[in-house]
Structure 1
Amino acid sequence: MTDFVEACRKPLRKSIRVNTLKTTVDAFKINAQNKGWILNPIPWCQEGFWIEADESEVPLGNTAEHMAGLFYIQEASSMLPPSALYAGEDSDYEAVLDMAAAPGSKTTQLAALMENSGVLVANEFAASRVKVLHANIERCGVRNAALSNYDARVFGGWLPEQFDAILLDAPCSGEGTVRKDPDAMKNWSLNSTAEIAATQKDLIESAFHALKVGGNLVYSTCALSLRRISRSLSIY
């Protein structure tokens, strides 16, 4: 437990994902070298890199390259779910659903993997977060996305067996984000975790029904309370 707590206190390594809708990885590497940025590849995402950059004058988020959508500042772990969805040979999807899309890191990654073809439904339940989702989609040059603002529990009933692939990055208690947000545990409780687990069960059931027969579903969450959550989802 001591080792775990110490690991949680260490700051995250900054990471980015090259947006291949607007540039290539090779071209970005040259640009990064010219700027003195040091890139180290992330094993599970060909477009992902841990980055070392001098941000004393211009933060990465304020650089021309970021504003032009050439890269997305995205945690390395966040790149895993879309990469997993496209890990198999049968990943030539025509219809994809991102059930909890904001702020857009995984949505824009999915769009890049789809090469802006097919249809990508980016749904976000919180109306206050749709604006930033839209801004990131526009910045990254995504053209195959349709934004929606629904409780994702409706998709199973409204659109049964309509999607080739679904990504459910489910809402959770968030204790897995403590390395970037020391306050993440302040509102944690057993009751809230149980409530969120019930919501997650509803969402994954909706995703299951919205998925075509033979389709692929990836479920992810940044919660650490996996035993309790997985028990509630054990029917799947």
Structure 2
Amino acid sequence: MGERSGEDGLLAQAEIAPLTGLAESLGIDRSRWIQVATEPLPETLRLTMHHYDIEWTRKQLIAMGATSLKWSIGNEAYQLPFARGQAPRDGTRELLALLHDTGRVTRQEAASMLPILVLDPQPNELLLDLCAAPGSKATHAAERMAPTGVVVANEPISGRVNMLASNRGRLSLHNVMITQHDGRHVGRIPKPGFDAIVADVPCTGSATSRKNKDVWWSWSPKGGRTMFQLQVDIASRGAQLLRPGGTMVYSTCSIDPVENEAVIAELIQKCPWMDVIEIDESNVDGLVWHQGLTAWSPLDEQGKASEPPQDVPFFDERYLPPSNDEILNALSKTRRLYPQDNNTGGFFVALLRHREDATPEGVAKTFIDKLAKRREQSGWESRLLEAPKPNRHTVHGATEEEAAVVMQQCRLDNADYSWWKRGKRMAIAPPLVYNRMWAQETPNKRGDRWPEGTFHPLQVLHVGLPAFVSKNGNWRARQESIPLL
């Protein structure tokens, strides 16, 4: 193993790394790959488009030497003239930190902005982010969907849930709900299901070499093969929860086709109601990227092509290119981004739609009860179940009287929110949360129903923005709610 310290050690390792073998197998020029993929990423960020002093913030960025990313919509994304995390100590570093901490900007790698630009979620929609932490994509979607659309940001790991909540508060976003589930087993919501889904799944990070130098030493081809089933399962759960006509974006920060095109090929065979659709490139006008692959070779642990696959651990035929022409055509609609194309990290993205004619019932596939007719013939009747007992940590709907007291004490007029309580805090969210997720029954897989007035079986930790806190019987606005209110 090469010496990890210093540029010479990095370049020496890049010359022999299996990761370079992967790049070569994809037709990427070896010397150009090593040159760019070992360089640090430039600092990039997104402007908070709803912030009241956005033009002042834009002027500060331009004064730092920032330039707008040519493919970003509405000049919302900027690249700074220094490497990621290397802002000069002439006041620039301090100002940049202040802009981020006060919610005026969000530091985010340019490539990771693509899923939301490709998905293009709309106001009044209900979006699920299956693997949301730390929250850059969830908050990106929430900003674009505000004030009426809602993002359900799901994260299984408790510590990362806290990061989600922190970023929601930093940006004063009231249209984010936070749930905690394994992405493969996210609970149902009422019919018809979600309008849009983000499946930015865990991956090996083979395209992150510019920000994560360790990948030059740690990545091996078997990594993608061990991630494949998890990625398929998460994306499949998203497909099951998506209403007919709804769209889902699948993405990774990997260039390994086993984690990308092979997953999409498996997904559309497992979920035949899902179609890969063409990406509207006007949403990323000026971006240089490549069609998805329709042919690739299995690699041995040294990153060398192995045909037929010999000495390839954890091998499965599903990791190979499909032979079906229809599936191959679908894969050509996916897109790949390489570091040398736009001075970014690498990325993969695919856009899929739940075909409406595949589900005439008009609801997400998770609601289709295959045993319903048999049950009806046996005289079975659907039961209304009893919701789990709430505790002091449970989020529940506030009464009209409670909301009226807060509005009166905090001098709010015509506040078009739904109101939620958790402990001594009162949160506000768009009415869509109440209308589509709280005030309707939710069928379970046996055909029985969870009652309205509960989020169950969805494990909801936070709803909207905790804008007010009660102290000695009086309500006051919390600091993070001030930009919104």
Give the TM-score normalised by structure 2. 0.45
Q: Distance in 2 between matches of 1:164 and 1:226?
A: 28
Alignment of 1:21-40 (within 5 A): 21-23=50-52, 25-33=54-62, 36-40=63-67
Give the partner amino acid of 1:84: V
- Which residue is equivalent to 1:114? 145
Structure showing the higher helix proportion among its residues: 1
Name the CA shift for 1:61/1:219 in 2 (closer, same or farther; >3 Å).
Answer: farther
| Cα deviations by residue, 1:29-61 (Å, 9 ceiling, x for unpaired) | 22334xx31221113323101123753144258
Q: Which runs of 5+ in 1 are unaligned?
A: none
Instruction: Select 1:48's aligned residue among 53, 72, 77.
Output: 77
Instruction: Select 1:158's aligned residue among 188, 195, 200.
Output: 188
Question: What CA RMSD, in Å, does the superposition of the two structures yield over aligned residues?
Answer: 2.2
Q: CA deviation at 1:206?
A: 0.6
Percent identity over the alignment is 29
Q: Which has the larger radius of gyration?
A: 2
Q: CA deviation at 1:102?
A: 0.9
Aligned residues: 230
- Runs of 4 or more above 6 Å deviation: none
Alignment of 1:145-224 (within 5 A): 145-155=176-186, 158-159=188-189, 161-224=192-255
Q: Is the CA contact (8 Å cut-off) linking 2:224 and 2:258 kept in structure 1?
A: no
| Cα deviations by residue, 1:151-189 (Å, 9 ceiling, x for unpaired) | 01113x634751111111110001111111100244333
Q: Is the CA contact (8 Å cut-off) linking 2:54 and 2:104 kept in structure 1?
A: no
Q: CA deviation at 1:223?
A: 1.1
Give the partner amino acid of 1:55: P
- Which residue is equivalent to 2:445? none
Name the CA shift for 1:60/1:200 in 2 (closer, same or farther; >3 Å).
Answer: farther
Instruction: Select 2:155's aligned residue among 119, 124, 127.
Output: 124
Give the partner amino acid of 2:81: E
- Which residue is equivalent to 1:86? 120
Give the TM-score normalised by structure 1. 0.88
Q: CA deviation at 1:141?
A: 1.1
Alignment of 1:90-109 (within 5 A): 91-109=122-140
Q: CA deviation at 1:231?
A: 2.0
Give the partner amino acid of 2:38: R
Q: Which runs of 5+ in 2 are unaligned?
A: 1-29, 269-485
